[in-house]
Structure 1
């Protein structure tokens, strides 16, 4: 009887050991298949990146959403929460968000917005992440475009440039009796053609000869001023828009406005500028700015050439664009950089710029981009002599008073020379008090 009990106990122990071995419950194997789906394996942290981007045009927002979707598909633990804001409201809302500690992790910034605030310590220096990843995109960037986002040895943004060559409507040229294959080649011809191309009905201008914005209009003004070899502030940030060259230029612009060759418009109006709305025949505009127009009227009706020759034969084009930057206070800097790096991947940046009209900043995709449309060749050619805003904390003050001077001049509040000189003096006073 004792032997039978002992045998039963032995069998029970053997069965228990066998069952335990089969269950894997005591195994120390890290990849034990029995653990799959058990809920005990470590889970990736779910992260949400807040992403703000300026501009609400359908073409742009669709392209942005496409990149976000591809990024999320490849990074299932990261959600990118997009907020699209019109340019007119963007920087004010972004400034408020930073002041309240509610800033996005990643944001787009206009050219002037970054270079005027980069010294405030808001943005993440991307260099440590670029170096840690040994990111090949750094060597692929056009050097001057990469430098646009640098400040005191830091890389605070990566730029998608917009180059402003001269665009014109071939169909409007034909309608006005002008050769559609012979656009203006000098600064003087710009003003002559603008007069010939304006369209007036019942004493009212229904189509301007040239798209020069009369409110927030520093960009179209600067496109012309650069051809004369000047800028609206110097390398130290001091205003220079009261120079005689600038006064003479603005007087010619005001004369065009009074003659009906310029339609009143705001540079930042949500509905687009006159050229974008087929209400002007000439414009210094980027390919991204004209992307929707190409779709609506047909690319064959739009011509693209380098800016006309100005002083000393220069054909300097205005270069602006949108930077991608990250917040220094982001709780997810690694993921923020990962998203920015993904955005500037060769295939992604080619796809995005093809859809939106931005210029790809990577040398390796230039050939593919140029094949797509003739204006792309012109934009890259314009890069050989292009200038953006100089990095300066005084940019915002100078722009504020320049805008006031231009608006006062167009509205006839006071003579051009007086408006420019008085506002430049106010800019100097404010800059001095801020030091």
Structure 2
């Protein structure tokens, strides 16, 4: 047998040994994986029993404010202390990056077990079969929180009869700076009573130095400004799309409203700002006299400048007496791909324990959605009575899988209008048509 033949024979023997080892590893992995649950039932015997280690659930939460993040960490720590067999791996992400990162995680098959979702994100993606219907857990536990939550808050997270999200609402009535009102010679206890008066006050409250606005009369975001716009549009009894998701933001009422908003901007009563700025809105940063900021943002401002300087009331009346407040907030939901559904639900239920959420709300400014704690919440901070009054006539985005299409083109239309790139009516009409055209292709 020559040297070449011996070399090939030796390589063949080595190859057979390596193949046997690979097959052995594959067999062991098969046995291991067969013993693991992959059906979303929440049981994983290998993790819980074999290793003796606690089950780890991944929890993503959209936030950039240190105040909110600190309170989220406290809830997680308390849960882990009371549930030593479950570990919560917390990741906080600013809202401006959150939607994209969450979408990538779902596409890559690495979605967190539990995560927060903005109001629009849930209602526009719930039909994509990403989230678990929590109704079965609510019914199995006979969860009392279901009957304690305000009905419109509970309904906000429902889709086709299922409960896909539980909302931590943040209501947006009107707030104003009493100290800035006093500087402008206005009654500190009398905010604008009508929509027309609101625009008049915005002009009176602006502060311009060296032809530059150093403080806005009203907080209206120029970039990503759909929320401030919607706060005003609701007072006209209008919406940005109809029940079928088709855009209506090019209505005559909307065009007239945006023209007034743009005039304020050109007159220096509005500061060029981004509605997704992680550092907060102009109102929160004491750069605007009137705003429709989120209640968590208002809580942060109160701690910074003093609650006595902040006025808080229902929105001004629209032409027909409408005083509807914008309601947004953060939904808590569960990924359908989770292997730990039972543990995930246990964490969500803990989060929505009325005492836990009450304490969280007191610090962060979110509104406790439970009827049973309303009086207690108002007693601690009487100004919060306005929030519960507003909740009686508050609404968020209507459920629609075309929410993202409408918001995308509405944002573009508003920015084109503010910057003068296009006349207001042209910007709104052209972008509404683009939204209709895109919806037809879906």
So what's the TM-score if we normalise by structure 1? 0.89
CA distance in 2, matches of 1:250, 1:196: 19
| 1:333 aligned residue | 341
Aligned to 1:383: 391
1:305 maps to 313
Q: Contact 1:51 / 1:107 at 8 angstroms: preserved in 2?
A: yes
Counterpart-to-counterpart distance in 1, 2:295 and 2:169:
10
Change (3 A) 1:398 1:57: same
- Corresponding position of 1:152: 160
Give the Cα–Cα distance (whole angstroms) in 2 for the partners of residues 51 and 375 of structure 1: 33
1:44-74, Cα deviation, whole Å (9 max, x unpaired): 6511110000012111001100100110000
Larger CA Rg, structure 1 vs 2 = 1
Q: Is the 8 A contact 1:173 1:197 kept in 2?
A: yes
2:366 equivalent to 1:374 = no
Q: Say if 1:166 and 1:284, in contact at 8 Å, map to a contact too.
A: yes
Asked if structure 1 preserves the Cα contact closer than 8 Å seen for 2:245 and 2:403, the reply is: yes
Q: TM-score, normalised by structure 2?
A: 0.88
The answer as to whether partners of 2:281 and 2:293 remain within 8 angstroms in 1 is no
Equivalent residue in structure 2 for 1:64, among 69, 72, 75: 72
2:154 match: secondary structure? helix
Which residues of 2 match residues 170-249 of structure 1 at below 5 A? 170-249=178-257
Q: Which residue of 1 aligns with 2:27?
A: none
Q: Give yes or no for the alignment of 1:354 onto 2:362.
A: yes
Task: Describe the superposition over 1:230-258 as per-residue Cα deviations: whole angstroms up to 9, x where unpaired.
Answer: 00100100000000000000000000000
Q: 2:100 aligns with which of 79, 92, 99?
A: 92
- Is the Cα contact below 8 Å between 1:53 and 1:85 reproduced in 2? yes
Gaps (5+ residues) in structure 1?
A: 1-40
1:408 aligns to 2:416 (yes or no): yes
1:386 shift after superposition: 0.7
SS in 2 for 1:313: coil
* Contact 1:229–1:311 under 8 Å retained in 2: no
Task: Select the residue among 123, 142, 148 that pairs with 1:140.
Answer: 148
Is the Cα contact below 8 Å between 2:181 and 2:289 reproduced in 1? yes
Matched, 1:285 2:262: no
Q: Partners of 1:189 and 1:124 in 2: how far apart? A: 46
User: SS of the residue aligned with 2:208?
Assistant: strand
Q: For residues 312 and 339 of structure 1, what CA distance do their matches in structure 2 show? A: 44
Q: Of residues 88, 109, 133 in structure 2, which corresponds to 1:101?
A: 109
Deviation at 1:311, TM superposition (A): 2.6
Equivalence map 1:120-131=2 (5 Å): 120-131=128-139
Q: What 5-or-longer segments of structure 2 have no aligned partner?
A: 1-48
Q: Decide whether the 8 Å contact of 2:284 with 2:293 is kept in 1.
A: no
The 8 Å contact of residues 44 and 77 in structure 1, kept in 2 or not, is answered as no
- Displacement of 1:77 in angstroms is 1.0
**1:255 and 2:263 matched:** yes
**1:375 CA drift (Å):** 2.9
Partner residue, 2:440: 432
Instruction: Report SS of the residue matched to 1:196.
Output: helix
SS at 2:285 equivalent: coil
Secondary structure at the counterpart of residue 380 of structure 2: coil
